Amino acid sequence: MGFLVHKDTIRTVMGCHPVSSRLISIRLNAAPFNMSVVQSYARTNDYSDEYMDDFYNQLQEIMEETYKKDILVVQGNWKAKAGKDAQAIWRDIILTTNERVHRRLEFAATNKLKLANTLGVHKP
């Protein structure tokens, strides 16, 4: 897990925090607000619920350490799909649903995040 930063913008990096082989965050000096980016790579459904609890606990720790005035982007491969079937309960978080999606939706709702994967046009 890592970030590629162009040599012309390396001076904007205020800090980088590798948490695990599956989570990392970087803070960038930007205007009008600084920006924090969290990159995640969740494991597949084959892994235990205990592993996923650890993953989300680490992710929550990153969220709590993020400066509140920063623009926040949480991105990555979540191995969880949230679809229209989740809209009835999660009206504010719209995104085909699998077993891991409820934890992802709870995390997003708790941290006031929007799942934006399906805002663009996708191929059928």
pTM above 0.85, yes or no: no
pLDDT in tens, 83-103: 555 555 555 554 445 556 677
What is 19-32 written as a DSSP string? Answer: EETTEEEEEE--SS
Rounded to 5 degrees, what are φ and ψ at 45?
Answer: -65, -15
The type of residue at 91 is: R
User: Could you tell me which CATH class the domain 12-110 is placed in?
Assistant: alpha beta
Domain boundaries along the sequence of the chain = 12-110
Per-residue confidence (pLDDT) for residue 120, from 0 to 100: 59
**What is the 8-class DSSP label of residue 41?**
E
pLDDT in tens, 20-50: 888 999 999 999 999 999 998 877 666 677 8
Per-residue confidence (pLDDT) for residue 18, from 0 to 100: 93
Rounded to 5 degrees, what are φ and ψ at 82?
Answer: -115, 125
Q: Per-residue pLDDT averaged across 40-64, rounded?
A: 82
